[in-house]
Every structure is written in C-alpha cells, then in structure tokens.
A and B are shown apart, each in its own frame.
Chain A
Amino acid sequence: MTLGIDLQGSFVDALTGLGLPAGAAKASWLPLPMTLILIAATVSIFVTVWLERKISAAAQQRIGPEFAGPLGVLQAAADGLKLLVKEDITPAKTDPWLFTLGPAIVVIPVFLSFLVVPFGQNMVITDLGVGIFLWIALSSVTPIGLLMAGYSSNNKYSLLGGLRAAAQSISYEIPLALAVLAVVMMSNSLSTVDIVNQQAGYGILGWNIWRQPIGFLIFWIAALAECERLPFDLPEAEEELVAGYQTEYSGMRFGLFYVGSYVNLVLSALLVAVLYLGGWELPVSIGAIASVIGVSESTPWLQIVAAAAGIFMTLAKAYLLVFIAILLRWTVPRVRIDQLLDLGWKFLLPIALVNLLVTAALKLTFPIAFGG
C-alpha cells in the first residue's frame, strides 16, 4: 500500500529542525489544514453557485450571469457582498436569540463534517475511526437549526417550513445511514480513508458503485433530500410556503442559510464520491500506471503527481454529481409532502434494508469481492 505524501510529518520535522519543541510544532500544524479546508469550502460555494446559475441558464436556453467577471464567475462574490452589506432585519415579535442562532446551527455542522472528507491518502484533516458516522451524526443536528429558525421567525410559513425540513431530514437520514452501513460492512471500517482504500487497486472496476448500485441510488436520493435540493425542496417551496424557514431572513443571516445549503450539496457530492466512486482513486490505478511507465510507486515525483491527480479526481467526481443534481433540479418536478414521506419510508427504507441484507449475504458468500 502506498503511503503517499506525509505533509504533516514533513512540516513537523521541518519545524523541529528549526528548534521548536515537538508539541508546539504539532500544534502549529493543526490550524493549517483546517484553514485550508475552510477556504476550499468557501471557494466551493463560489464554484457551485456559478455552476448552478450557468447550468440552469443553459438548461433553459438562457445565458446566465456574464457581466460580473469573465463569464460571470464573480457573480457569487457580488451576491455575497450584497448580502453582507444588506440590512439585517429582525422582524417584530421574533425570538431574537433563536432567530440569530438558527442559521449558525444550520451551517456549523456542515462545515464540521469536512473534518472527515479525504482528498487524498493524507489529505484529510483527521482520519477519525468513526469517520462517516460523524457525518451522519452531524447532519442530524441541522434540523434543530431549521426548527429554531422556523419557530423564532413568528411566521406561519416559517414554522411549517421548519417542521417540514425537520420531518424530511429525520426521515431520509435512515435510508442514508442504511446505505452507508452497507458500504461500511464491505470495508470493515467507518473511516473514510479505509473506505476509499478498500476500493483501490482495480481502477474504475473496484469502485463501490458496481457492488452497491442500489445503495448508490438510495444514498444519492437521500442526500438530495437532506440538502433540500429541488425534487425535495419542500421546506422552501416558493409556491406554497413563500420561502419556508427562510421567509423572514435577510442580510447575512439569510446568507448563512444560502452558504449552508450549497456547502451541504458539495459535501454530499464529495461523500458520494468517497463512498461510491472511489474517492481520490483514478479510473486506472496508480500502481498500473507506474508499472507501465516503469517507475517505482514510491518515486517522489510520481507521488506528487498522484496526490495532485487525487485531489483533482475527488473534485471532478464531486462536481460531476453537483452537475447531475442541478440537471435533476430542472428535470424533476417537486414532490408533494405525502409523496416525499412515502418515498422515504415506504420505498427507500425497505429497499435500503434489503440492500443491507443482500450485501451481508454476498459478503458471506464471496468474501473476496465484498470485503471479507
């Protein structure tokens, strides 16, 4: 197994070489990946918003933003700036504390979940043992923020939107967790890095999507529902609920919801890539490429190229899924609330259970192919 580049190790070594105690060197490493991921997540919002606008425009035979920066790439920045300087209104008879806390509680878990998203063998903030389970746990916190926002707004639409959002989140969490469980069962570990490593070695053929096609679909549908993306955007359905729990929000507090929803979409896409599409693995395994070129796998330049390719692959897969999500948005009409709950409880849940059982059976029958 390749170890890849150990950035942390080299950084700590370099600092201790400069005469710093080992503990301080390690502590000074800590904020670096976190800041990097924060910046990456923020940039990903810009990219996703731009993609959303441009792809939506293309699907509707429009042009989309084109004056803010080349091809309108700075449109998201302009939007963000507008939200920053916009007046932040707290409507009458709201609950000011909950009204302020709500958006924060929606956003914080989403950003925290980036802790476990790997971009490469060592390109992960922490390779936690509970890994993917942490994400499931954190994503279950979000509805509290939504309920908070909905309750404190002093608005019927907000309250209904908040309740819908919470109902939707807790219903779709179960098939989501079951789909993840099937993957975890095959890789014998909750850690995201282990899950990717278990798919490594055979290039595109080793990816989980071939072994878990149903799980992949369940996960993707449930992830879309968790992100409140269009076929399932009931909590903010404009035609029924004005804007759901966001109705009374303006300025940066609304901006937090906006940021949260887009980061959540990117996060879900990244996790689908990690769980089902081989994470940072290339369609052809690095080992095979190395043997074709005739260099050892531990050659420094090959490792650097592999790390860069890994980050690129992860992002490419994630953004492919974002693209599909945007395309779905303009294809599939919104479901009704009863259809939504029907789909979650009566369709996805039983199928996820059957998928789990079948995976367990296959694991016992073919331990080689299904991670014995």
Chain B
Amino acid sequence: MNLAEGVQIVSFGILSLMVIGAALGVVLLSNIVHSAFLLGMVFASISGLYILLNAGFVAAAQILVYVGAVNILILFGIMLVNKQQDFVPLPNAWLGKLATAAVCGGLFALLSTMVLGTTWAISTEAAAGDGSVVLIGMHLFSDFLLPFELASVLLLIALVGAIILARREFIPDEQPGDPQPEGLKLPERPRDLVAVGSAPPDGDA
C-alpha cells in the first residue's frame, strides 16, 4: 500500500463516519435547525466521497445544488416558519416508534442482502476525471436528453406553481359592499388615497 492509497482509505473512513454520524444526527436530534445544518454536513461529506471517486464536477455540483441551494432553502423554510407547537405526549407513542424501527430495520436488512448478494466488480476503465464535464454534457444532450428536458419541465412547473401561489391576484378581492375585517384595517391610512386614478392600459403615460 503506497501513500496515496493510505490517504484514500483513511479519508474514506473519515468521510463515511461523517456521513453516517451526521445522517443519524439529522434523524435523531430534537432541534430541527440542528438537523437541517447536519443535513448540510451529510451533503458535503457525500461530495467528499465523490471527490474520492475522482468525480470533481459531480462533487462541486453536489455542493452547489444540495448544500448551496436545497439545504439553504430548507433552513429558510425552517427559520421563516414561525410556528410554535407544544409537544403533546401521545398515549401509545412506543407503538409508532416500534413500527418505525421495524420498517427501518426491514429496509436496512433488504439493502444489506442486496449489497451482499451483488457481485461487485471494479470497472477496468479509467475514470474520466477532469474530462467528465465533457462526457456529462454529451450524455445530457444525447442519450439523456428526454429525462433532462423532462426534469427541466418539472422544475419549470414547480416554479410556475410557486409564482401562482405567491401572486396576489389570486387572493379574492373584497367587494365594495363587504365588511372589512378589523385586523386588516390601517387606522392611519385611508384606502381611498391609493386609487386616485387608474393607469391607462397602454404604457403611454
């Protein structure tokens, strides 16, 4: 075993420990913000594993997309949601926990048998390394064009959906005769001041 291999094995061990430890933390910690930050650590450690696999581009993409975007969105969601919910002890909580443990154990057993049952063969082809960017690009625009486009359409739909949810026009306007809810009134600013004149439909003003 030479120097490089030793470094690889040691870093593989450390990274695996980090992934597993952080993932356990995500699931088991009671503070949801801690879980979210640990999720970021899981993603980052996985990107370290990608680097060990000589896939620098995938590693960078993993950090950019998962740590830099997904995890931050999760954190945003957690920090902006201001819902305090008191913990209500359930009468038969142990039952749910038991069921969860059973499902998780079953899943783990299934995956273990799959891992043990597969004959793993290390590919004799040299890893693409730095050339992987070109290879990924070519695959995306040839064999994987349809899934790629479908994924982007899916993202577009999600985007449009988010905009529709956030748009104000879809909040039903109040009719002039409707009684105004007390909570929405601004005492110091009468509403009429806003609607002095409507803008002309063409932008010639």
**Alpha-carbon separation in the docked complex, A169 to B15 (Å):** 28
Asked whether, in the complex, the Cβ of B64 is within 8 Å of the Cβ of A129, the reply is no
**Alpha-carbon separation in the docked complex, A137 to B59 (Å):** 9
Residues of A within 8 A of B60 (CB): 130, 133-134, 136-137
Q: Would you give 10 A-B contacts (Cβ < 8 Å), ordered by A?
A: A27-B3, A98-B33, A128-B56, A141-B63, A141-B67, A144-B37, A159-B79, A162-B79, A163-B76, A170-B68
Q: Does B149 contact A (CB under 8 A)?
A: no
Q: Does B129 contact A (CB under 8 A)?
A: yes
Residues of B within 8 A of A (CB): 2-4, 33-34, 37, 40, 44, 56-57, 60-61, 63-64, 67-69, 71-72, 75-76, 79-80, 129-133
Asked whether, in the complex, the Cβ of A137 is within 8 Å of the Cβ of B130, the reply is no
User: How would you classify the secondary structure of chain A's contact residues: helix, strand, loop or mixed?
Assistant: helix
**Alpha-carbon separation in the docked complex, A51 to B34 (Å):** 39
Residues of B within 8 A of A95 (CB): 33
Asked whether, in the complex, the Cβ of B75 is within 8 Å of the Cβ of A136, the reply is no
Residues of A within 8 A of B (CB): 23-24, 27, 95, 98, 128-130, 133-134, 136-138, 140-141, 143-144, 147-148, 151, 159, 162-163, 166-167, 170, 173, 190-191
Residues of B within 8 A of A143 (CB): 68, 72
Q: 8 closest Cβ contacts across the A-B interface?
A: A140-B68, A129-B130, A137-B64, A137-B60, A137-B63, A130-B56, A23-B3, A130-B60
Asked whether, in the complex, the Cβ of A130 is within 8 Å of the Cβ of B67, the reply is no
- Known contacts A129-B129, A140-B69; is A166 also within 8 Å of B64 by CB? no
**Alpha-carbon separation in the docked complex, A129 to B68 (Å):** 21
Asked whether, in the complex, the Cβ of B133 is within 8 Å of the Cβ of A151, the reply is no
A128 to chain B, nearest CB (A): 6
Partner of A137, one of B2, B61, B71: B61
**Alpha-carbon separation in the docked complex, A345 to B71 (Å):** 21
Asked whether, in the complex, the Cβ of B80 is within 8 Å of the Cβ of A163, the reply is yes
- Known contacts A130-B60, A133-B60, A134-B60; is A170 also within 8 Å of B72 by CB? yes
